[in-house]
Structure 1
Amino acid sequence: MSLIYTYLADRRFLWLLLIINIAGTLYGYIWYEPQIVKTPTIFIPFVPDSPTASLFFVFVLAAFLLRTNWPLIEALAIITLFKYGIWAVVMNFLSLAVLGDLSWQGYMLIGSHAAMAIQGILYAPFYKMKLWHVLVAAVWTLHNDVIDYVFMQYPKYPGLEIYIREIGYFTFWLSIVGTAIALYYARRCKKGSQLRLF
């Protein structure tokens, strides 16, 4: 195991990452609160996209600390962390381009969401996903796209509404790429080439 994966497997680092992700997840749900209170109840599980993605990873880390794997949660985590991590980075840069300014929270969201995408993939060599886990996670993720861009429950960024069709199309392809990444690691699992965390 290379040096970077030795650090990633260190239980002290796992605990630190767990605490950071719990804090980020709580902040994310607070960030979405103004939209959630206006959302029909049936759509609420699909509105807070990024904090739900990081919540999946909280459970992945908790499983690691319990010396086990929860493969379905791993599949949900890797796809949604990549998708919404990249999505938020692009949306905040797009906001900067359209509005000509970005708050400090915007820059913070760029850094934190880039980290989301990276951590999901960095830990992928430790996942134990199978094909069916990835397919279920892909259905969840694509269903979320339908809720966001057919039922118009997408995250609200001021000034970007005029690009909503293009953003929806971009989001769909992020789901596809995230699923392809998960399938790659599921195939590695099948071949038995994944790393052992414990």
Structure 2
Amino acid sequence: MISWLFSLLTNKTFLWLLLIINLLGTIYGYVWYMPQLRNTPEQFMIFVPDSPTASLFFCLVLVAFLLRKNWPLFEVLALITLFKYGVWAVVMNLLTLWVSGELPWEGYMLMASHGAMAIQGILYSSFYRVKLWHLAAGALWTLHNDMIDYVYMQFPVYSKLFLYIQNIGYFTFWLSIASIALAYYFTQKTPRSSLHPNF
């Protein structure tokens, strides 16, 4: 990893700033999902707010780093879901723009923030301590979530895109596979770095 980037990513002040930003984004995300959650059956609640749950996983990873610990299950969940839902939200907002011919400013804000979600999960992946069983658990969570979204129809509501829901479900499934494969590569096939000695 480039030395200046390594120094930035392992800087304790930067980690705290990243934690605060992600925590605020997580809260905003859950608030954004509130109207849909009011009409969501209780057994599906945990699977509906995808993006804020992904950033919540990453908040827990950052807390662990600040405590000089690794929580591998949250690390793999963060990596898979940050990339998946980061890319997913960017694509869905671009699709909304294509279908409707316009996108409110919140859509551009969501594209920027979700693009950053996808990037940050990857940037910290060399510090993760993920084993294959953690990866398997993360894959199971991710694919099960897709079943809830597109078999039980609990997907995030983008009203203008409902007519394309089968195509979106197909795209989302393969995006999940790509995200799991990416997590395998970054946690099993690349050199590990140590975050803690710089604290």
Question: 2:155 matched to which residue of 1?
Answer: 154
In the alignment, is residue 72 of structure 1 matched against residue 73 of structure 2? yes
In the aligned structure 1, how far is the partner of 2:132 from the partner of 2:64? Answer: 20
Which amino acid is the alignment partner of residue 65 of structure 1?
Answer: L
Residues 69 and 128 in structure 1, CA contact (< 8 A), matched pair in contact too: yes
Question: 2:138 matched to which residue of 1?
Answer: 137
* Cα displacement (A) at 1:5: 1.4
Question: 1:180 matched to which residue of 2?
Answer: 181
* Cα displacement (A) at 1:185: 2.4
In the aligned structure 2, how far is the partner of 1:162 from the partner of 1:185? Answer: 36
Residues 127 and 193 in structure 2, CA contact (< 8 A), matched pair in contact too: yes
Residues 188 and 194 in structure 1, CA contact (< 8 A), matched pair in contact too: no
Question: 2:103 matched to which residue of 1?
Answer: 102
In the aligned structure 1, how far is the partner of 2:95 from the partner of 2:146? Answer: 19
Alignment of 1:183-198 (within 5 A): 183-188=184-189, 193-198=191-196
Question: 1:111 matched to which residue of 2?
Answer: 112
1:153-184 deviation digits (Å, cap 9, x = unpaired): 00010210011011001101111111011111
Number of aligned positions between the proteins:
195
Residues 125 and 194 in structure 1, CA contact (< 8 A), matched pair in contact too: yes
* Cα displacement (A) at 1:6: 1.2
| Unaligned 5+ runs, structure 1 | none
1:5-46 deviation digits (Å, cap 9, x = unpaired): 110110000000000000000000000000000000000000
TM-score (norm 2): 0.96
Question: 2:30 matched to which residue of 1?
Answer: 29
In the aligned structure 2, how far is the partner of 1:186 from the partner of 1:118? Answer: 15
Question: 1:81 matched to which residue of 2?
Answer: 82
SS in 1 for 2:97: helix
1:99-132 deviation digits (Å, cap 9, x = unpaired): 1111111111000000000000000011000111
SS in 1 for 2:159: coil
Question: 1:54 matched to which residue of 2?
Answer: 55
| Unaligned 5+ runs, structure 2 | none
Residues 129 and 185 in structure 1, CA contact (< 8 A), matched pair in contact too: no
* Cα displacement (A) at 1:3: 1.4
Q: CA RMSD in A?
A: 0.9
Residues 61 and 75 in structure 2, CA contact (< 8 A), matched pair in contact too: yes
Matched-pair identity in %:
63
**Between 154-163 and 1-10, the greater mean CA deviation after superposition:** 1-10
In the aligned structure 1, how far is the partner of 2:48 from the partner of 2:26? Answer: 14
In the aligned structure 2, how far is the partner of 1:171 from the partner of 1:159? Answer: 17
Alignment of 1:9-24 (within 5 A): 9-24=10-25
Which amino acid is the alignment partner of residue 134 of structure 2?
Answer: H
Residues 127 and 194 in structure 1, CA contact (< 8 A), matched pair in contact too: yes
In the aligned structure 1, how far is the partner of 2:9 from the partner of 2:30? Answer: 26
Question: 1:123 matched to which residue of 2?
Answer: 124
